[in-house]
Amino acid sequence: MNVLLLGGGGREHALAWAIAKSPALTKLWCAPGNAGIAAVAECVDFDILDPETVVSVCRDMGIDLLVIGPEAPLEAGVSDAVRAAGIVVFGPSRAAAMLETSKTFTKQICDACGAPTAKYAAFDYAENAKAYIREQGAPIVIKADGLAAGKGVVVAQREEEALNAVDDIFDGPGGGAVVIEEMMTGEEASFFVLTDGKTVIPLAGAQDHKRAYDGDTGPNTGGMGAYSPAPAFTSELQAKATEDIVKPILAEMRKRGTPYSGVLYVGLMLTEYGPKLVEINARFGDPECQCILPRLRTDLLPVLSACANGDISGLALDWSEKSCLTVVMAAKGYPGSYEKNTVIGHLDRAENAEGVTVFHAGTSVKNTVVIATGGRVLGITALAADIGQARTQAYNAASMIEWDEGFYRSDIGWRAL
Ligand code: AMP
Ligand code: GLY
């Protein structure tokens, strides 16, 4: 099978690493890829957000399967155009990806199917939103509608903070609309399921650390580390989330003529009343993907292919009992501004450490040295008998890397230990 993977983050390195091991693979390309992906795939550069370009690249290369890593190509209509051209695609349609791209849409789906989620109201005008906040009081959660790369959410402890957040959203570049929610309390878990639109196969649970600094402090990021399985997300909670949240939402999408196919990322709050939906993403999480795929013993490529071809009913997945933990190394200053093109040394030492895989995110190679080109740069991942051991091994490997301009949290996995 000739496979083209879109994306160039740590999630895509994990996907490429798993796909490259498959006996069913003829050749793997990745656009744009990164220095780590280049070791297992041929990296090519073209506009992955332009549907026509992606279609013609797939035709020229004789691609049998297109795998879409991030959400932006979904929103740009790439999956629809490629599917319409008769090429098999792993990734939902733009209409189904609205579960990620529009928070109001997801709330309406939850209302229609009864999936438990925070009580909410949506507003197109700042004054109406503010009146609602004054009526409800704090704590309260303010969200920009639409994609905001994790930066569009304010969990406001005080009313004034909530009112300011509304101003920021309406004055900001996205303009437009706001969703206001009741604040839920509990532990968060990320639950990943595979679906062809009908059959649902639970993949795994994970927990990530969204804040930049130790003790879950500092600004929100795309994720500074993750581990799987998540002890708080028990098999009972997984079964309950599947029945109460995942299946009703997928049935509602089917009923509306926009069935969802691909990986569904279900962000949950484990409240005292059971799991409630926080958000949905139309893709794998990053860095959750990096600590889930190493636990999968089944060959990933036929699984992606079956899903993209619309029938996963015959699949059975084999998971390792081991635990996996990923520590993200980011450029100092991330998620704000940071220096680029700094040199990373001794990656090979970390890569050779026991049970460790180093997934690259923002890296490239210049004159045979690896340089950092992005905010999140590496995901040091260890697979071991339990979370504690995985954490020790991952941090041991991280300490071998010489990169003065980088930093990482020292407490990934604290909730599980
Ligand atoms: P979202 O982009 O909707 O996933 O929100 C980002 C983060 O904000 C979540 O991971 C939660 O930590 C927090 N959050 C979002 N909605 C709520 C809510 N209703 N109650 C409490 N925390 C929330
Ligand atoms: N780690 C959170 C995300 O992928 O959105």
**How far apart, in whole angstroms, are the C-alpha atoms of residue 325 and residue 341?**
27
Q: Which two tokens stand for residue 378?
A: 């590496």
User: What single-letter amino acid sits at 358?
Assistant: V
CA 284 – ligand 2 centroid, Å: 8
CA 381 – ligand 1 centroid, Å: 26
Work out how many domains the chain is built from and give that number.
Answer: 4
- Asked which of 163, 182, 201 is the last residue of a domain, the reply is 182
Is 97 inside a domain boundary? no
- Nearest-atom index, ligand 2, CA of 283: 4
Domain that holds residue 296: 187-308
Is 216 inside a domain boundary? yes
Residues 292, 202 share a domain: yes
Ligand nearest to the CA of 279: 1
Domain harbouring 257, CATH code: 3.30.470.20
pLDDT at 152: 74
Q: How many CA atoms lie within 13 A of 50 on its CB side?
A: 7
pLDDT at 103: 86
Q: How many CA atoms lie within 13 A of 275 on its CB side?
A: 26
Q: Which two tokens stand for residue 198?
A: 């009908």
Instruction: Name the pTM for this structure.
Output: 0.95
> Ligand 2 in contact with 152 (CB < 6 A)?
no
Is 385 inside a domain boundary? yes
Residues 82, 15 share a domain: yes
Residues 147, 242 share a domain: no
> Ligand 2 in contact with 208 (CB < 6 A)?
yes
CA 8 – ligand 2 centroid, Å: 15
Mutate to test the pocket of ligand 2, among 71, 192, 281, 327 (most ligand atoms within 8 A of CB): 281
CA 122 – ligand 1 centroid, Å: 16
- Whether the Cβ atoms of residue 379 and residue 361 lie closer than 8 Å to each other: yes
- Asked which of 161, 182, 203 is the last residue of a domain, the reply is 182
Ligand nearest to the CA of 150: 1
Domain harbouring 332, CATH code: 3.90.600.10
Residues 193, 281 share a domain: yes
Asked, as a colleague might, if the bond just before 294 is cis with ω within 30 of 0, I would say no
Residues 168, 257 share a domain: no
CA 166 – ligand 1 centroid, Å: 16
- Whether the Cβ atoms of residue 142 and residue 166 lie closer than 8 Å to each other: yes
Ligand 1, atom 9, residue with closest C-alpha: 278
For tokens 């889930």, the residue is 292
CA 128 – ligand 2 centroid, Å: 31
Ligand 1, atom 8, residue with closest C-alpha: 153
User: What single-letter amino acid sits at 172?
Assistant: G
Residues 193, 301 share a domain: yes
- Asked which of 134, 151, 182 is the last residue of a domain, the reply is 182
Q: Comparing C-alpha atoms, which of 126, 387, 110, 380 is closest to residue 246? A: 110
pLDDT averaged over 10-residue windows placed end to end, the chain, 417 residues: 98 98 98 98 98 98 98 98 98 98 93 97 94 97 73 88 92 79 96 97 96 94 96 97 98 98 98 97 98 98 98 97 98 97 97 97 95 97 98 98 98 94
- Nearest-atom index, ligand 2, CA of 150: 5
CA 125 – ligand 2 centroid, Å: 29
pLDDT at 149: 47
Which residues contact ligand 1 via a Cβ below 6 A? 118, 141, 143, 150, 153, 155, 181, 183-184, 188, 210, 267, 278-279
**How far apart, in whole angstroms, are the C-alpha atoms of residue 173 and residue 149?**
13
CA-to-CA separations, 9 to 30, 42, 280, 290, 328, in angstroms, rounded: 11, 15, 20, 10, 12
Is 61 inside a domain boundary? yes
pLDDT at 147: 59
> Ligand 2 in contact with 244 (CB < 6 A)?
no
**How far apart, in whole angstroms, are the C-alpha atoms of residue 142 and residue 152?**
8
Residues 205, 219 share a domain: yes
